[in-house]
Structure 1
Amino acid sequence: MARTKIVSGSVALIRARLRRPFVTALGTRDFTENVAATVVLSGGARGYGEASTSLAMKSLTAPALRRALSRLLRDAAGRDARDWRALVDRAWTLCPDLPPAVAAFESALLSALAAESGVTLASLLGGALTRLETDVTLSAWSDPRLTEEAAAEAARDGFKTLKLKVGGTLKDDLARVRAARRGAPRARLLLDGNQGLTPRGALTLLDAVLKEGAKVDLLEQPVRKDDLAGMAFVAKRAPVPVAADESVATPEQAARVLDQGAATAINIKLAKSGLSRGLEIAAVARAVGVPLMIGCMAETARGLSASVHLALGAGFFRFVDLDSDVLLVEDPAARSAAGWTRRGRRIELPRR
């Protein structure tokens, strides 16, 4: 009998508190509610995936994600996990509007197959790297003192790059940038508009920040995700890469965005696309020499594992924004189940 038959699956609700309020142009949250999926194969191997709720996609509630994952696991029971492509294609058909659920299901399947094969998921995905470095995110807090404090803490923890949430008024965004630079004067910056800026407003902010001497490496999703003309306006004039995040969740969207000149970088998040679609998006971008970023939602350390393994396995991401575990308050025992380790900005897999 094959050792890769799916014999059981389970879902569990995870509620984790954020160390500081998470604030973007799209809203505020103090905690995250995620849904974990576990797959067990007939040979005993287990796989894990996690679906995160999101400020950007308010329909992705924990109950909706839980129902979707329960349905997907029931549907897959008795199937061979080696048919994962067909299972994932069916999952997209069953739950087209719940991408984090499909992504968690896919991650659970592939991590179970990797475990059964005695290799890491990173090895299964290419095995390019064993370690990488990430930025850390500072929210769009209204109090500059909180930004300065968080930036200083990040610098003490060894982070060299800060991702700053912007998308408010020019005055508030500049105050936040200045506060971050007071706390971490040597840090490089990524600016994330979260769809909250106008095209001209994005360029005005970027110009002002650069004139103050800040080292800005990227401007992410400055305008509404469906405003590709606005994105193109910014991308054509910005002196730094302009990344599409919410604008790209499928390979077709990636092709459309790049064809219209609406981005000069693309941010891949498993919660938007899953592993296989994420790799297809990467192929579209790499075919025309567009750099890639990998990001996350509000996954726990264990939930972030699939993204960590993708980044390490593929090895082609220029910008790495895998920091959700840093932003959460987690039990050390739960964190130890992640299967990877963090030392400040450095992420690596344990030696086998």
Structure 2
Amino acid sequence: MKIDRIEIGEVAIPLRTPFKTASRTVDAVNNILIRIVTDSGTAGYGEAPPTALITGETKASIREAIMQYIAPSIIGMEIFDLDTIMQRLHASIVNNTSAKAAVDMAVYDLYAKTLGQPLYKVLGGAKRKIETAYTISDNPIDEMLRDSMQAVQDGFSILNVNVGKQRLKDVDSLLAIRKAVGPGIRIRVEANQGWSPQDAVRIISLLEDKGMQTELVEQPVRAHDLAGLKFVKQHVQTPIVADESIFSMKDALHIIQTQSADLINIKLMKTGGIHEALKICTVAETYGVDCMIGCMLESKISVSAAAHLAAAKNCITMVDLIGPSFYKIESYEGGPLFTGGTIKLGDANGIGISAFPKAHFKKLGVIK
């Protein structure tokens, strides 16, 4: 069974409310989608969001990377020759990790479909249900309280709260949310590189002193500031997660060996897809380090792929896949079932997606 063609398009899905972090505000998901079709007609699906502030990619660069470099390198290859496909994919162009991730997950989707199994089973997993956090945007306190209470009402027991814009005032927002939702809700803090190392230690220490019971703090300092990240970890009790600081297995190994963070956040758009994410999981398992899996305002295709990886790997103990609950519409067919804070993996082959979305989709081209 050979790769016959790769179809590429784009989707625009409005969000229910704007997504706000310390670094950006987004009103809609505007992502590149691909479909890899074999000579037998079987199709696999992939997706890439343009997240220029993190990966350096735009819609135009993702489209060109796939059409001009990645797709031509793997057209005509046998789908079961997975290792060679991945070697060619990653050698076709440097960086461009989101473009690579879209093709990677579509290949894995196809691979699992040809084996007649859900992807999580092919990857060695047996979990059929995982629990995800709900992301709270960085807004004025009254809006953050409203969104937090609504998320709890909708069935989420874990909140991932975005802060980082106001430094010490972030403490007030977080304490207000804790008081509103009560002690039974797990709260994670996503600082989005918004603090200096000194401010991070001051803020996290204040939260600890005031009984915030923060489950973890994610990427408190700039991605390149590994010394600052380690400084924060050494001076607080709350677990520290490295997110934007880790793209590759090499990055993960360095963070772990230097003890610069307690946990690792895997995102397929940073790693370049499932193939490289599995290497990070192997490193984490070797050193006994837990991982989180997250996403970058992706729609159901790539969120589903990430959910399958989370269900397959025991080292992934924390999930932040906001999924379709964040969007005004959801026009995909198939995939895992998102109900409140629960993601249920089904029995469908591959990642479970069976077609491009029916609405808000535009076809861009075909590579043969």
Place the TM-score, normalised by the shorter chain, in its bin: over 0.9
Aligned length: 345
Secondary structure in 1 aligned to 2:45? strand
Spell out, residue by residue over 1:167-193, the C-alpha distance to the aligned partner (whole angstroms, 9 max, x if none).
Answer: 122343123213423442232111111
CA-to-aligned-CA distance 1:236-266 (integer Å, 9 cap, x gap): 2221221111111111111111222211110
Within-5 A mapping of 1:1-352: 4-54=1-51, 56-57=53-54, 59-71=56-68, 72-141=70-139, 143-185=140-182, 186-273=184-271, 274-331=273-330, 333-334=331-332, 337-351=333-347
Range with bigger deviation, 184-193 or 224-233: 184-193
The residue aligned with 2:361 is none
CA contact (8 A) 1:292 1:319 kept: yes
Counterpart of 2:161, as a letter, is L
- Contact preservation (8 Å) 2:74, 2:88: no
Task: Please list every run of 5 or more consecutive structure 1 residues that lacks an aligned counterpart in the other structure.
Answer: none
- Structure 2, unpaired ranges of 5+: 349-368
SS of 1:150 mapped into structure 2: helix
- Counterpart Cα distance in 1 of 2:313 and 2:126: 6
Question: Could you say what secondary structure the match of 1:35 adopts?
Answer: strand
1:341 and 1:8 map into 2 onto residues whose CA distance is 29
1:210 shift after superposition: 2.7
Q: Deviations over 1:146-205 (max 9, x none)?
A: 111110110001111111112122343123213423442232111111111111211221
- Between the aligned partners of 1:338 and 1:264, the Cα distance in structure 2 is 35
Cα deviation for residue 338 of structure 1 reads 4.0
Distance 2:185 2:301 in 1: 28
Task: Choose between structure 1 and 2 for higher RCO, CA contacts under 8 A separated by at least 6 residues.
Answer: 2
Q: CA RMSD in A?
A: 1.7
Bigger shift: residues 62-71 or 97-106? 62-71
Matched-pair contact (CA < 8 Å) for 1:199–1:233: yes
Task: Name the CA distance, whole Å, in 2 between partners of 1:200 and 1:329.
Answer: 39
Overall identity of the aligned pairs, in %: 31
The one-letter code sitting in structure 1 at the alignment partner of 2:99 is: A
Paired AA for residue 342 in structure 1 = F
Mean CA deviation greater in 99-108 or 230-239:
230-239
Note the C-alpha offset of 1:44: 2.5
Deviation string for 1:94-133 (max 9, x for gaps)?
Answer: 2322101101101001101111111011111112311110
Q: Structure 2-normalised TM-score?
A: 0.89
Residue identity in the other structure for 1:275 = I
Tell which deviates more after alignment, 173-182 or 317-326: 173-182
Q: SS at 1:53's partner residue?
A: coil
Using the TM superposition, name which of 244-253 and 42-51 deviates more: 42-51
Instruction: Provide the TM-score with structure 1 as the length reference.
Output: 0.93
